[in-house]
Amino acid sequence: MEYTFLKIEQHDQIAVMKVSAPKSLNALNSTVLKEIDDFVSNLDTKQTRVLIITGDGEKAFVAGADISEMVHLYEKEGYEFSKLGAIAFRKIETLPIPVIAAVNGFCLGGGCELAMACDFRYASSKAKFGQPEVGLGITPGFSGTYRLAKLVGQGYAKEMIYTGKAIRADEALRIGLVNAVYEPEELMDKVMETAQKMVANAPLAIAYAKQCINESYDLIADDAIELENTAFGKCFATEDQKEGMTAFLEKRPAKFVGK
């Protein structure tokens, strides 16, 4: 599929997906959401070991869902628009590879929700985060009420959502919405550096660890622990476990093949 609103770059085993809608600060209309869904659904996660999501240009990651499209919607279409984003973002969250958001500017509404569907976020010092939806007469619609509360706790999530206020990158760092803040010109290098470290590790082990962390959140302790026991056991059925441990004992770097 040819994309109108996505720019895709491949750097060996690292893919970069840039949302690119320059006239609207990369706002998410339904075509962008369908393109994201298509890209993520068809991503070859054997070839691509890490996905980085960012915004095109210097000003915005994504400034939210497209208000000029939403202004015309009624209840049924509003529900369907919300579903479209939610399904695409859930696919990002459950990809069997790490997904890092490189938040390079405005990260508002649906943009913040896109960033939160990633495994973690690094931000430029110029980034601004917020869920301004109630100021437009709507709730967050791409799973922001769920993921923001999960990430920063209900207190901060409710404060951000009820006030609609935008917070700076240093505040986002303080409340745990982002893992690190860098100067704008350093951001991509730092994200790439982290991605490279992940590429060097065993991909199936990362996929199992991601699944355990994602799924255990909604489980009771005994089920979450059992999930990890099972994943740990499955690692011992992989070539990468033999290679990783043999390489350690032979004092050489491991070469993982993802089997």
Active site residues: 113, 133
Query: Counting contacts by CB under 6 A, is residue 73 touching ligand CAA?
Result: no
Q: How long, in residues, is the chain?
A: 259
Q: Which residue has the tokens 């869904």?
A: 37
Which of residues 110 and 203 has its CB atom nearest to ligand CAA in the complex? Answer: 110
Amino acid identity at 129: F
Query: Counting contacts by CB under 6 A, is residue 58 touching ligand CAA?
Result: no
Query: Counting contacts by CB under 6 A, is residue 56 touching ligand CAA?
Result: no
Q: How far is the CB of 129 from ligand CAA (least distance, A)?
A: 11
Query: Counting contacts by CB under 6 A, is residue 37 touching ligand CAA?
Result: no
Amino acid identity at 64: G
Of 39, 89, 106, 122, which one interacts with ligand CAA (CB under 6 A)? 106
Of 140, 173, 175, 178, which one interacts with ligand CAA (CB under 6 A)? 140
Nearest-angstrom CA–CA distance, 104 and 89:
19
Question: Tokens standing for 172?
Answer: 């986002």
CB distance 204 to 235 below 8 Å: yes
Q: Which of 231, 59, 210 is nearest to 120 (CA)?
A: 210
Site string for ligand CAA, 151-190 (x = CB under 6 A): ----------------------------------------
Question: Tokens standing for 90?
Answer: 């859930």
Query: Counting contacts by CB under 6 A, is residue 105 touching ligand CAA?
Result: no
